[in-house]
Amino acid sequence: MCGIFGVYNYYGDVGEFRQRALDLSKKLRHRGPDWSGCIVADNNIVCHERLAIVGVDTGAQPLTNADESIVLTVNGEIYNHKKLEAELKQPTSFKTHSDCEVILHMYSEIGTDVCAKLDGMFSWALLDRRSAKSRLVAARDPIGITTLYIGRVSAHPETVFIASELKSLNEECDQIDEFPPGHYFDSEDGQFHRYFKPDWWTPERIATAPVDYRQLRESLTAAVRKRLMAEVPYGVLLSGGLDSSLISSIAVREAARISASAQSDTEDIDTRGARYFPRMHSFSIGLPGAPDLIAARKVAKFLRTAHHELTYTVQEGLDAVADVIYHLETYDVTTIRASTPMYLMSRKIKSTGVKMVLSGEGADEVFGGYLYFHYAPNADDFHKETVSRVHNLHTSDCLRANKSTMAWGLEARVPFLDKEFLQVAMNV
């Protein structure tokens, strides 16, 4: 993942504002320390702070089409990029090896319908200059795994600011809103449009499908396998609990299978990560002697991962709170408490050279794993609560996982929130 910043239809001298835009984009550089890019087109500015994980050699952004009439900046990963590239109807010359470039070319063929075709976690902003008036289209992934905000200036309502974090907007905008997950924004009408419309999204619709354990297993395995897409060292966050242990075990098994098999050009997913780095690293953190560390150690030994056990003191946790709040951009006590060890662990993980990890966020919301679910009065209310919790993940666990890790330029991927896996699990 990366950091994105853009200004559409700027009300002043865009040339003079360019340096200011670079300064605002720089506030996101912890998210993307590997390279920076900026394109000024007409009265629009598109910036990018890159964390290089896929297409390391050529994937610098913003991305453009051949005549630079379409400009794209993306934060995220598109796991089905190979499949989408094969679906393009027009002969297309790709400038990079980035998994995100396909968004640009697919948009040029089918417009905003591209949003529903994407399988991944993403926030992006696209500037379409093919008409007399430029058009801004921006989108956020279905659940809100990535963060995105939109800002405006009351005195100049025609101007739109967009950024991965609030800290790039608060000095310029007097109106800032969270970009709703599962929507795209279109400057042609100035409205958000929902593109993610699964049948389980409405809480009042009670799931009736009988549990199919094979289907659950296969869909979760596929969710983990596609997330091994990388060109850099990667690992798993391992607390020793059920969720992270399950993700870790699948990741170890699938990485071994991929590295042992012949490479196939017909496979829909990108398997470079497991071929480049077949040995899985696992990471756990806790206070000295914490039960989680002991449990994680046992799981890591069983899975034969290269395990890294990290500890911190209470004082180190307290010392980090101010920085955690700065990066999270929230004062929610529960989120801050849960984020502090993840923030500290991410710093140590990055020091090992690992740039991407798999994590178990979302399982408790999908399957009703929190203790209070035991007090649901009936099955229908239980299901409604799980749907509500998934709806609101972008305000809690997704925000924590994204900003705690990206504070140090570490990307966290969450297989339990794969949209195809959710389609199976939320219908049970």
Secondary structure tally for the chain: helices H, strands E: 14, 17
398 is catalytic: no
Looking at this protein, which amino acid is placed at residue 199? D
Catalytic residue among 2, 38, 115, 173: 2
Read off the tokens for 253. Answer: 């098994």
- Residue 216: CB atoms within 10 A of its CB come to 15
Instruction: Please state, in angstroms and as integers, the Cα–Cα distance from residue 327 to each residue in 136, 319, 322, 323, 399, following that order.
Output: 27, 14, 9, 6, 10
C-alpha 22/C-alpha 143 separation (Å) is 29
From CA 240, how far away is CA 384, in angstroms rounded?
Answer: 29
CA dihedral in degrees (121, 124, 128, 129; nearest 10)? Answer: -150
340 exposure class (CB count in 10 Å sphere: 0-12, 13-18, 19+): buried
Whether 98 and 122 have beta carbons less than 8 Å apart is answered as no
| Token reading at 300 | 């890591």
What is the rounded CA–CA span in Å between residue 77 and residue 79? 6
Residue 227 Cα to chain centre, angstroms: 11
Provide the token pair at 410: 């570490």
For residues 69 and 61, give the distance between their C-alpha atoms in angstroms, rounded to a whole number: 15
Point out the residues that are catalytic.
2
